[in-house]
Amino acid sequence: MTQPVSLRFAATDLEALPGQEGRLAVVVAPDGKLSAPARRVNRLTKGALARMVAAESWQKVKEGEVITLAFPQGLAAEALDVVVLSRRPEPALLRRTGAKLGKLLGEAGMLVLAGNLRGIEDLALGLKLRAYDYDAQKTTKATARGPVTVMAASQPETTVVDALAAGVFFTRDLVNAPANVLTTQSFSDQLEELRALGLEVEVLDEPALKDLGMGALLAVGEASVTPSKVVVMQWKGGADEAPLALIGKGVVFDTGGISLKPVGGMEDMTMDMGGAGTVAGTMKALALRKAKANVVGLVGLVENMPGGNAYRPGDVLSTMKGDTVEVISTDAEGRLVLCDVMWYAQERFKPAGMIDLCTLTGAVIIALGHEMTGTWSNHDAFCDSFLKAAAAEGEGAWRMPLAQGYDDQLKSRIADMKNLGGRPAGAVTAAQFLKRFVRDETPWIHLDIAGTASIKAGTDLAPAGATGWGVLALNRLVADRYEG
Ligand code: BES
Ligand code: MN
Ligand code: ZN
């Protein structure tokens, strides 16, 4: 897995400045007043900082900007990065600014002079999250990124920052991996390795799933040579209270099956296990920071392929719940996987809350683009606490409706329901389908991350490709709602 850069907090030691190689970053307030470390840098560079803040152009400088002076005289560093931040910036701004440093970070590492800046954990997290390259499939590796030292007035623990970065990187690596590398087998192998962190991990194989009656999930994976699996990951950090259940769609590749997808863009369907990847990354983060809560993650791992034994449009499948489903499109496979895993999670764990994550519909991208995850829920208070956690982490999420009229679109002539509600409101009817597999007493949130799990353009905190959307929000939800 891609290792996050090593980062430590240290007391300010001005004697280290002249000899620091790599990059030197120094925080300067927008009012141009220089802190003690900044004054030292100024002296060593024969007044470069004083001239910068006295220049007319400084008036146009905005908080969060990073201004680079290359090969500054008086320093061994290859670059001096002036980081414009006031004393108490918003966490989101700190993360974005840290991310700019993470993007600049090279082989020789970085020393950050933060002075008395508040919230340096957020600066550190942003830096770590952006210093990510997926180069596992390249013969020429990305340049390694050296270590980072953040010198500041106080030195907080790095446990949580390290846990979150490792969790997000795990998700991104899984989502970025191609389908010939990340099969259901190699995926479940990687999840089994989480046992080393104290998670209980069980792998249910096809015979076990058959015994449980998961006819919908098994139909989707039928024509693949890589076997269908459900992996259960339990983190027992709480007392004996019912757990929060996180459910992930893990379609390692989605060809559409017999309802074959068109050629253009099919290669993107390597990310169709994004829900399962997010659940895995979240479980890893919770275990690494030893969360004081009970959380169980369940992922349905399948590959949706055409073949002589593939399920077909018109087939009627029997779910673990017992309800029957008429298949209209074999490309609406995610809901068939999730409905069985969700039912199993409720039967076995009687969870205090259940959240499913899935790259479920193209329609949610039409509705919300790549900015927001489509969010549905049967429980206002539960949903509000999730939306609050997501907003606090800067992860976009927007609540969408559920209503009888949408459910009516799923009526089937020959079975209990169809797996497709037609073109109108495609993301909503997918949510309605899942809702049929939620018990009345289970508070439930459905997150359609088709637009947010992987983005071609890159975001503030991630390069192009997998984002790791949701790991931070879910971690915060657990901290806010389940840990004391
Ligand atoms: N995995 C796709 C949804 C998807 C689309 C994810 C784009 C990420 C990016 C899902 O299984 C699918 O094929 N959905 C179909 C549903 C249709 C058959 C009703 C879609 O959105 O076109
Ligand atoms: Mn599909
Ligand atoms: Zn899919």
Mean pLDDT estimate for the chain? 98
Count CB-CB contacts under 10 A for residue 328: 18
pLDDT at residue 2, as a whole number: 95
Q: What is the DSSP string of 324-374?
A: EEE-S-TT--HHHHHHHHHHHHHHHH--SEEEEEE---SHHHHHHTTT-EE
Residue 200 pairs in a beta bridge with 234
pLDDT at residue 342, as a whole number: 99
> Is 270:258 a contact under the CB 8 Å cutoff?
no
Shortest-distance atom of ligand 1 to CA 251: 1
Tokens of 454: 């992987």
Mutual orientation of helices 120-130 and 91-104 as an angle, nearest 10°? 40
328: nearest Cα among 312, 340, 339, 310: 312
Count CB-CB contacts under 10 A for residue 40: 19
Distance (Å) from CA 396 to ligand 2 centroid: 24
pLDDT at residue 484, as a whole number: 75
Q: Of the residues 329, 331, 373, which should be mutated to test ligand 1's pocket, given the most ligand atoms within 8 Å of the CB?
A: 331
Shortest-distance atom of ligand 1 to CA 271: 8
Q: Tell me the pLDDT tens digit for each residue of 35-75.
A: 999 999 999 999 999 999 999 999 999 999 999 999 999 99
d(CA 103, CA 106): 8
Query: Any idea which residues carry the catalytic annotation?
Result: 261, 335
151: nearest Cα among 180, 116, 176: 116
Torsion from C-alpha of 251, 253, 257, 263, nearest 10 degrees: 140
Which residue CA neighbors atom 3 of ligand 1 most closely?
A: 361
Pocket around ligand 1 at a 6 A CB cut-off: 254, 272, 329, 331-334, 359-363, 420, 426, 450
Distance (Å) from CA 203 to ligand 3 centroid: 22
> Is 110:80 a contact under the CB 8 Å cutoff?
no
**In this structure, what are the phi and psi dihedrals at residue 398, rounded to the nearest 5 degrees?**
-135, 130
d(CA 18, CA 118): 25
Shortest-distance atom of ligand 1 to CA 453: 8
pLDDT at residue 143, as a whole number: 85
Distance (Å) from CA 423 to ligand 1 centroid: 12
Stretch (H or E) spanning 249: strand 244-254
Whole-number Cα distances in Å, 269 to 69, 340, 362: 42, 22, 11
Task: Note the residue count of the chain.
Answer: 484
> Is 230:301 a contact under the CB 8 Å cutoff?
yes
DSSP letter, residue 194: G
d(CA 264, CA 350): 42
Please give the share of the chain, as a percent, with pLDDT higher than 90: 98
| Domains defined along the chain, listed by start | 7-155 (3.40.220.10), 163-482 (3.40.630.10)
Stretch (H or E) spanning 286: helix 274-288
Residue 457, CB-side half-sphere exposure with 13 Å CA sphere: 7
Render each residue's pLDDT in the chain as its tens digit; 484 residues: 899 999 999 999 999 998 999 999 999 999 999 999 999 999 999 999 999 999 999 999 999 999 999 999 999 999 999 999 999 999 999 999 999 999 999 999 999 999 999 999 999 999 999 999 999 999 998 889 999 999 999 999 999 999 999 999 999 999 999 999 999 999 999 999 999 999 999 999 999 999 999 999 999 999 999 999 999 999 999 999 999 999 999 999 999 999 999 999 999 999 999 999 999 999 999 999 999 999 999 999 999 999 999 999 999 999 999 999 999 999 999 999 999 999 999 999 999 999 999 999 999 999 999 999 999 999 999 999 999 999 999 999 999 999 999 999 999 999 999 999 999 999 999 999 999 999 999 999 999 999 999 999 999 999 999 999 999 999 999 999 999 7
**Which ligand has an atom closest to residue 454 CA?**
1
Q: What is the DSSP string of 79-93?
A: EEEEEE--SS--HHH
Ligand 3 (ion): residues with CB under 5 Å are 251, 254, 272, 334
Q: Tell me the pLDDT tens digit for each residue of 348-381.
A: 999 999 999 999 999 999 999 999 999 999 999 9
Distance (Å) from CA 134 to ligand 2 centroid: 25
